[in-house]
Every structure is written in C-alpha cells, then in structure tokens.
Structure 1
Amino acid sequence: MVKAPSSSSPWWTIQRRLARLNKALFSATRGRVGATYFGAPVLLLDHVGRRTGQARTNPLIYLDDAPNLVVVGSKGGTDAHPHWFHNLMAMDSTEVELPGGVRRRVRPRLADGTEREALWSRLVALYRPYATYANRTDRRIPVIVLEPAPDHSGSSATHH
C-alpha cells in the first residue's frame, strides 16, 4: 500500500494553505465564494481546541443527507485522525455555517456498519480524492454524521 505524504510534506502545506484561503473566502462572502472545493460543497465547522480551549473553524466538504450533514475525518496524516475530528467528537454539539450564512447547531456521531458504507460511497462520488486517500492509509477514515441539535434556548436550529 502506498502511504500518504507526511503531514509536513509540501503537498500537505499546499492543502492547508488552500483550506485557509477557502475558509477566508467563505467567511468574507457568506459562502458566495468558497462554497465549493474542487466542485464539492463546503461548510465551515466550528470547534474548540481540547488543549488550548481556542475557538477554531475548518472548511470541510460535506454531503447534505437532510436533515443531517455528513463529513469525513480525512487529512490527519497517514496514522492519525485530524485534530478537528478529536475536538469535534469531544463536544456535545457545535455549529456549522452553510453557504448563504445559514448556521445550524449540530451534534456529531460516527457512522458505522452499513450506514458508514452507504455514506462513504456517496461521499466518494461527491469528491473522488477520498477514495485515493483511503487507499494510501491503513487508517479507517471516519465518517461523521452531524445531526440537528437543539440550540441553546432549547428550540430546534433554524434551517433556512
């Protein structure tokens, strides 16, 4: 099996820079620019660093599986899940921003078994590099379902 480039390789450096640019464009234009990454739809995921307590936002490719959103825990290097994945899974709920400035409160859960396989095939159809990445690592890449979560006032999140 061919291994993915190390997380410090020039390839990953370029990926990180593209993600930062994508996030900046998305945030500045409320998703009018930066709402896709190589043709796949993008959302912004808010999370809090487990060690630092610092608020962070990552642009992620997503699948709209209404009422859920689905993301993939890729780009963590060959042997480790990405930091945002660990941060997200440590949280009861968080928010995502969709194109148009629409914010949703969500709670994460891992997809497993037949649900994971069905979602994985749809995600790969949406963004082919996921399959290539999966072939370069022995790590089972997590599929995360972001389910609607009640907002802080106890009512359901607004879906525009």
Structure 2
Amino acid sequence: MPPNLALKAMNIAHRGLLRATGGKMGNSFSGMPSLELTTIGRKSGRTHTVMLTAPLVDGDTIVVVASRGGDPIHPAWYLNLRDRPEVEVSFRSGPLRPMIARTATAEERAELWPRVIAGYNGYADYQRRTTREIPLVLLAPRD
C-alpha cells in the first residue's frame, strides 16, 4: 500500500487533471465513475476532499469502497464519515451535492460485494490482503 504522501499526491493529480480538462478527462478510472468526496475531519473539524471511484450506482445511491488498497487500517475519509455522516459529493465533475453516508449492513454488504467485485476485481484482491472486512459505504442524497 502506498504511504499517505503518495495517496495525497495521487488525489491532487487526479483533481488537477479534472480541473485542467474541464472534466473531460479523469471522470472514470478502471471503468468506474470517479467522484470527489468531502468529509469533515473527526479530529480537526476541517473539510477534507478525496477522489474515489464508484463501482456501483443504484438510482441516487452511490456505493464506494473503503479499501485503502487492502491496507490493514481504514482510510481516514471512512473514519471521518463514520463519525460525521453529512458529506458532499461531486459525481463525475458535477455540482457538489449534500449527501448522507452510511456503512452497508452485513446483509447489504453480502448482496453488494459480489456486484462490486464483478465491476472491479481489484477489490477482491484488496480484501485478500487484509484481515479487516472492507466496508462498503452508501452515499444517498440528503432530504
């Protein structure tokens, strides 16, 4: 797994590509749509934005995977939204939308996981690399 600095550099490069091309490049990765997820830091209270991919989109609900490449620890963005589920999402360079994030229940994960790895088998490799169960996160519009 890349160190935090490398992950941050990849996020900055991805956002830069989106902005430089007006969203014409960088809106998908490995066949999955990309999104910018903005969370509120659980410790700092500051906003943090990361680039993610969405292996599943079901109506207005977007599913993202808290894999961190199979690292043994959860990504910081997941810990942030777990504590503060009010997030903002820019899907495929679209406008920021207020959303609510929640971790899929065991039953939901059992149903969604095969669909996730069918869309991108790399997630199955990530799961094999770690003993933690990689969470699936459902992002839904705030009412």
- TM-score normalised to structure 1 length: 0.77
Larger of the two Rg values belongs to structure: 1
Between the aligned partners of 1:15 and 1:127, the Cα distance in structure 2 is 20
Show the counterpart of 2:27: 35
Stretches of structure 1 lacking an aligned partner (at least 5 in a row): 151-160
Instruction: Say how many residue pairs are matched.
Output: 142
Q: RMSD of the TM alignment (CA)?
A: 2.2
Show the counterpart of 1:47: 39
Question: Which runs of 4 or more aligned residues in structure 1 lie more than 6 Å from their structure 2 counterparts after TM superposition?
Answer: none
- Superposed, 1:4-83 pairs within 5 Å as 5=1, 7-8=2-3, 15-29=7-21, 31-62=23-54, 63-75=56-68, 78-83=71-76
Show the counterpart of 2:106: 113
- TM-score normalised to structure 2 length: 0.85
1:88 is displaced (CA, Å) by 1.2
Percent identical pairs in the alignment equals: 35
The structure in which a higher percent of residues are helix is: 2
Q: Which amino acid aligns with 2:23?
A: G
2:68 counterpart SS class: coil
2:96 counterpart SS class: strand
Q: 1:105 to 1:30 in 2, by over 3 A?
A: farther
Q: 1:66 to 1:22 in 2, by over 3 A?
A: same
Show the counterpart of 1:157: none
Show the counterpart of 1:101: 94
